[in-house]
Structure formats: C-alpha cells, structure tokens
Amino acid sequence: METRIALIGIIVENMESVEQLNALLHEYREYIVGRMGIPYREKNVNIISVAIDAPLDKINALSGKIGRLKGITAKTIYSNIGGN
C-alpha cells in the first residue's frame, strides 16, 4: 500500500486530554517514525511534533481524532514524496 510522509504539529492546552492523546499515538505507533515534545512552561502548553509514514487515510484519521480532543489543536503537513 502506498504511504505518505507527513508531520503532525500538536498544541496541547488542556493537560486533562494528554492521556487520550497518548492513547491515540499508541494506537498508531506502527506508522510513527518519531516524535518530539517540548513543554512550554511559561505559556502552560506542550508542543508536539509527530513524524509519520502511513497511508493517507491513516494520517487523516489520526490528525482528525487528535483535533477533536478538548483543548488540543493539530495541523498536518504532507511531503510531496511517498514513503515505502
């Protein structure tokens, strides 16, 4: 199956939703190439970037599910090249 390489940028403003976010990331772990989290304590938010190589429908599903969590915003950018 053709895959795409993408980056999901996540801003966490509601720490109560972190457990749900981690559960989603765990659910899609087979597609995640890497992730980086930065706690921005001065603004009381966390900034997370997730590199992913997956079929387009999986990327869109994960990004959509993350974006529906309370107090969490997610935006996705896609590479012009495919993955595997």
pLDDT tens-digit map of 4-43? 999 999 999 999 999 999 999 999 999 999 999 999 999 9
What is the model's pLDDT at position 10? 98
Q: Where are the domains of the chain?
A: 4-82
Is 4-82 assigned to CATH 3.30.70.1150?
yes
Residue 57: how many CA atoms within 13 Å on its side-chain side? 2
In this prediction, residue 81 has a pLDDT band, given cuts at 50, 70 and 90, of confident
Q: Which residues pair with 50 in a beta bridge?
A: 8, 35
| CB within 8 Å of 24: residues ≥ 6 apart | 62, 65, 66, 69
The arithmetic mean of pLDDT across residues 66-82, rounded, is 92
Judge whether residue 84 has pLDDT over 80.
no
What is the model's pLDDT at position 9? 98
- Helix segments in 1-84, DSSP class H: 18-27, 56-67
